[in-house]
Amino acid sequence: MVQKFLKYILRQWKKNGLSVLPIHQDFSRYNLEKLRQDAFAGLSVTLIVFPQAMAYALLAGLPIEYGLYGATVATFVAALFAGSRFLSLGPTNATAILLANSFATLGIPVEKMPIFLPTLLVLTGSFLILSAFFNLANMVQYVSRSVIAGYVTAVVFIVIVNQIHNVLGFNLATIQDNAFTFIDTCSATWNSLPGIEKSSVFIGLITLYIHRFIKTKFPKSPVAFTIIILACLTYILQKTMDIHVQVLTPIDVSAWHTSWVGFSLDNLNLMADSALILSFICLVDSTVVLKTLSSRIGQKSNVNQMAFGLGLANIFCGLFSGMPASASLVRSSTNYTSGARTSFASLFCGCFCLLCIACLGPFFHYIPKAGLATLIIILACSLLDKHILKVVITSTRSDACVFFVTLIAAFLFPLSTAIYIGVFLSIALFLKKAAVPAFFECIYDENNEISEVDLNTPLLKQTEITIIHMEGNLFFASSEIFRDQMRMISERPSLKIIILKMRNVMHIDATCILALEELLYYMYCNKRVLILSEVNKYILKALQRSKLIEFIGLENIFTDKRNQPNLSTALALKHAQNIMGDKNFYVRVLVVNNKKKYTQATAEMCSEPQQKSSPQSIQGAGKL
């Protein structure tokens, strides 16, 4: 039993393209030139990730060392297990605000967050590893981009509202104990406006000006240089002008410790829902980043390997006092533009982050909170992509509806609830569209003619043989429509045979098979015959497995012939003709050409039940 289980694990591992240590592939051809480029790329990313990590920790309501430790651990793990030379893992805007929102929703105060955080991150990492092992990571592609756009837009506004109190200099934590939605935070902020500090407002305005100026001189690392200038300015204000400024607390790297507290069955149950949604957001963000960068260099992205590395990064961050880790588009793009050659670039980034914590940690008490909060707002606004928003809002009504519903839900409810609402709505709208199969009817009337018309067109004459052309998948959402349409046709008094063309039906599920079984029983009771033509191998396999093929009758099923597209229906017509008896008739099929004009093809079909049809006559009929 154990041996079979291990073989199954190994088989799944190889099937999903996973590697235990993908960085070993970079060892074989590593040289000094790659070392130089990787070190430069690692330093460039460090200048971005180091200030961002502090900002995101402040955004989540955690001490800043959680962001720095999380960034350091995540970059090391990404280098070893993520399988991408460009992917940069660590704290992000989205995960930080979702983390704060999750704890606020659960009613966990800020001071107790470090107790529950390890459990949350280990659970999140475990979900991500399971998604990689069972190939669920690729399921992210079925999430509508409209949901993601609405979610990201909501995150930007929530970040602004959650940080504006730091820019204005008053403390919102004591008022916001039970406030976890956008509306609650706005109300608490409005009630706290009398406590504005002029020094904090001044620091915030100066930060905006400095960042704008630095961005023109150092576009790759404006945040890092802005923080350095702010620290110098704060030192001058405190030492020479005796102006009080709210600052960060210093960090002693020697106090860095593992975090094993809080692991219990009760905490696991409490954190499960938040961990599931957090893993989903991490997977969505990281997949978008990975596929974007992979398309630039023309390489295939291994989403499962990325999810595996992402899961391990979150587990290690949980065990070593870190924050949730996800892929950052800004940092990963910097890795790409800086010329990273291998995954060692992330290793260098982790080493540089650790060196910065050790050397600069004692001087963090010169970094103003108002300046860092202003930078958080600037970073959040950079997440908005005008082009994506325009496409999502203007393309279709359903996409616009999903976007605005997700956005409004994020303002009224916690972020996790808003994402569920958006995903559910997008799936519901998709199913509504996909659940309407297209029916076109070819009528054999008393004038011996077959014409293709829409089912909604009123029929002036009764028919004896009807050919139904179907387009669209037959699944549970379309079963009612399929059964009702087919029964409506079957109720015609003079109808004897229905030929169902199924070439463009690529899928059928159990619900529709049961609906087809009910239809067959109804037709059998009313002495009518159902013939299936152009049946592909997938539909045929489903009919065989469900044993429905025995009820239909093998003689009433004609498989699709790709090299002769119309031969299957021609044979079905011949079979129907034999059932009906000796009749001569003409076939006229209306065809829509590229200019959307109707043309017709006509040929004569003769039935001679006493004689066998020659191959030439069947092939000729198949060319209609």
478 — pLDDT class (breaks 50, 70, 90): confident
| Cβ-contact 60, 338 below 8 angstroms | no
- Outline which parts of the chain fall under CATH 3.30.750.24: 435-622
Q: Which residue has the tokens 């982050």?
A: 353
Q: Is the pLDDT confidence value at 517 over 50?
A: yes
| pLDDT score for 451 | 46
Q: Is the pLDDT confidence value at 436 over 70?
A: no
| pLDDT score for 259 | 79
Q: How far is CA 296 from CA 33, 334, 356, in A?
A: 22, 13, 31
Cα separation, 286 vs 81, in Å, equals 14
Token pair listed for 570: 């021609």
Q: Is the pLDDT confidence value at 461 over 50?
A: no
Q: Kindly tell me the sign of the dihedral angle through the C-alpha atoms of 370, 375, 379, 382.
A: positive
Residue of 526, 461, 445, 449 lying closest to 490 (CA atoms): 526
| Cβ-contact 326, 285 below 8 angstroms | yes
| pLDDT score for 426 | 85
Residue 100, Cβ density class (10 Å: 0-12 exposed, 13-18 middle, ≥19 buried): buried
Residue of 256, 266, 308 lying closest to 71 (CA atoms): 256
Q: What SS3 state is found at 590? A: strand
Query: Which range among 11-20, 330-339, 458-467, 493-502 shows the weakest confidence by mean pLDDT?
Result: 458-467
| Cβ-contact 467, 499 below 8 angstroms | yes
- DSSP type of residue 452: E
| pLDDT score for 291 | 81
pTM beyond cutoff 0.75: no
Cα separation, 585 vs 178, in Å, equals 78
Tens digit of each residue's pLDDT (9 = 90 or more) over 553-574: 889 999 988 788 788 888 888 8
| pLDDT score for 592 | 32
Q: What SS3 state is found at 256? A: coil
- Backbone angles phi and psi of 171, in degrees to 5: -95, 120
| pLDDT score for 619 | 31
| pLDDT score for 180 | 59
600 — pLDDT class (breaks 50, 70, 90): very low
337 — pLDDT class (breaks 50, 70, 90): confident
450 — pLDDT class (breaks 50, 70, 90): very low
| pLDDT score for 172 | 66
Higher pLDDT, 120 or 595: 120
Q: Which residue has the tokens 């009820």?
A: 551
Residue of 329, 303, 271 lying closest to 105 (CA atoms): 271
| Cβ-contact 219, 212 below 8 angstroms | no
Q: CATH top-level class for 435-622?
A: alpha beta
- DSSP type of residue 565: T
Cα separation, 229 vs 207, in Å, equals 9
314 — pLDDT class (breaks 50, 70, 90): very high
Q: What is the mean pLDDT of residues 456-484?
A: 70
Tens digit of each residue's pLDDT (9 = 90 or more) over 33-68: 889 999 999 998 998 898 889 989 988 889 999 999
| pLDDT score for 439 | 66
Tens digit of each residue's pLDDT (9 = 90 or more) over 202-251: 899 999 999 898 888 877 778 888 888 988 888 888 777 777 788 888 88
**Element housing 471 (H / E):** strand 465-471
| pLDDT score for 139 | 74
Tens digit of each residue's pLDDT (9 = 90 or more) over 485-504: 888 878 877 778 888 888 88
Specify the length of the chain in residues: 624
Q: What is the mean pLDDT of residues 152-161?
A: 86
Q: What is the mean pLDDT of residues 89-104?
A: 88
Q: Kindly tell me the sign of the dihedral angle through the C-alpha atoms of 558, 564, 566, 571.
A: negative
Cα separation, 234 vs 190, in Å, equals 28
In sequence order, what DSSP letters do the residues of 7-38 get, joined into one string?
A: HHHHHHHHHTT--S-GGGGGTTT--HHHHHHH
Q: What is the mean pLDDT of residues 266-281?
A: 89
| Cβ-contact 474, 512 below 8 angstroms | yes
Q: What SS3 state is found at 585? A: strand
Cα separation, 211 vs 382, in Å, equals 13
Higher pLDDT, 148 or 142: 148
To the nearest whole number, what is the mean pLDDT of the chain?
80
Number of other CB atoms surrounding residue 357 within 10 Å: 21
Tens digit of each residue's pLDDT (9 = 90 or more) over 299-310: 777 888 999 999
Cα separation, 386 vs 408, in Å, equals 19
| Cβ-contact 310, 89 below 8 angstroms | yes
Contacts of 514 (CB under 8 A, 6+ apart): 479
Query: Which range among 69-78, 136-145, 319-328 shows the weakest confidence by mean pLDDT?
Result: 136-145
123 — pLDDT class (breaks 50, 70, 90): very high
